[in-house]
Amino acid sequence: MTSFNLILPELNDFITSLGGSDKKGLVITLFTISAAISRPFSGKLTDTIGRKKVIYLGILFSVIISWSYPFSYSVLFFLTLRFLHGFSAGFTPTGSTALLTDIIPAEQRGRAMGLWGTFISLGFGVGQFSGSWIGIHFGMNALFIIAGATSLLSGLFLIKVEETLSKPEKFDGSQLKIKWNDILEPSVTPAAVVMFLTTICTGMIFVLTPEISGFLDIENKGFFFGFYVVSTIFVRLFASSLSDKIGRRETMIIGVCLLCISMILLSKVDSYNSFILAAVVFGLATGVSSPTLFAWTADLSHISRRGVGAGTIFIALEIGIMIGSLSTIFTYDNTVESLPDVFLLGIIMSIVALIYLIWHKLNRESAF
What's the pLDDT at 357?
95
Nearest-Å Rg of the Cα atoms of the chain is 19
What's the pLDDT at 368?
44
Answer whether residue 173 is part of any domain: no
Answer whether residue 169 is part of any domain: no
What's the pLDDT at 365?
57
Q: Which domain holds residue 17?
A: 2-162+182-363
Answer whether residue 226 is part of any domain: yes
Answer whether residue 261 is part of any domain: yes
> Is residue 313 within 8 Å of 191, Cβ to Cβ?
yes
> What's the maximum distance between 2 C-alpha atoms anywhere in the chain?
57
What's the pLDDT at 268?
92
Answer whether residue 291 is part of any domain: yes
CA atoms 349, 322, 203, 45: torsion sign: positive
End-to-end alpha-carbon separation of the chain, Å? 28
Say which residues have a Cβ less than 8 Å from residue 76's Cβ, sequence separation at least 6.
none
Task: Express each pLDDT in 351-366 by its tens digit.
Answer: 999 999 999 988 875 5
> Is residue 228 within 8 Å of 280, Cβ to Cβ?
yes
- Residue 104: half-sphere exposure toward Cβ, Cα within 13 Å: 26
What's the pLDDT at 298?
81
What's the pLDDT at 107?
77
Task: Express each pLDDT in 304-328 by its tens digit.
Answer: 777 778 778 888 988 998 899 889 8
- Judging by beta carbons within 10 Å of its beta carbon (0-12, 13-18, 19+), is residue 207 exposed, middle or buried? buried
Determine the number of helices (DSSP H) and then strands (DSSP E) in the chain. Answer: 15, 0
Answer whether residue 175 is part of any domain: no
- Judging by beta carbons within 10 Å of its beta carbon (0-12, 13-18, 19+), is residue 292 exposed, middle or buried? buried
What's the pLDDT at 240?
66
Q: What SS3 class is residue 49?
A: coil
Answer whether residue 177 is part of any domain: no
Report the phi/psi class of residue 139: left, alpha or beta, with left for phi > 0 and alpha for psi in -120 to 50: left
- Judging by beta carbons within 10 Å of its beta carbon (0-12, 13-18, 19+), is residue 330 exposed, middle or buried? exposed
> Is residue 287 within 8 Å of 231, Cβ to Cβ?
yes
Q: How many domains does the chain have?
A: 1
CA distance linking residue 236 with residue 50, whole number of Å: 30
**One-character DSSP codes across 222-237:** THHHHHHHHHHHHHHH
Q: What are the residue ranges in the chain where pLDDT is below 50?
A: 367-368
How large is the angle between the packed helices 248-267 and 272-300, nearest 10 degrees?
150
> Is residue 221 within 8 Å of 213, Cβ to Cβ?
yes
> Is residue 260 within 8 Å of 350, Cβ to Cβ?
yes
Answer whether residue 151 is part of any domain: yes
CATH number of the domain at 18, please.
1.20.1250.20
